[in-house]
Amino acid sequence: RGAFHCVGCGQRLYGAAHKFHSGCGWPSFFQAVEPGALRTVRDATHGMVRTEMRCARCDGHLGHIFNDAPQTPTGARHCVNGFALLFVAEGQDLVDAVRAHRPTV
């Protein structure tokens, strides 16, 4: 139990209940924790067109959204770079989680 936050600014992005195993090797979620947590942009790099997602607060790159997860309630797979996320367990203080993640802060 808990939530995944943006490692850059601490914005809450995903609830642990929205995480699922997609088999792609990256953390996958089927929806953001609330509307407005993410910002999406068209990404036409590397010879393909994808939907990039960014943190709505700090504009940090998080990954891409694909509509290839029919096993989820939304059909979407938010394929997130694990280094962009900070897990905060239920009951844990965000500041403590950041300090544990970045001990020099």
> So which residues are the catalytic ones?
79
Q: Are 85 and 68 in contact (CB under 8 A)?
A: no
Helix (H) or strand (E) holding 101: helix 94-101
Torsion, CA 9, CA 10, CA 14, CA 19, rounded to 10: 100
> How far, in Å, are 22, 30, 47 from residue 71 at the CA level?
9, 10, 28
With H, G, I as helix, E, B as strand and everything else as coil, classify residue 19. Answer: strand
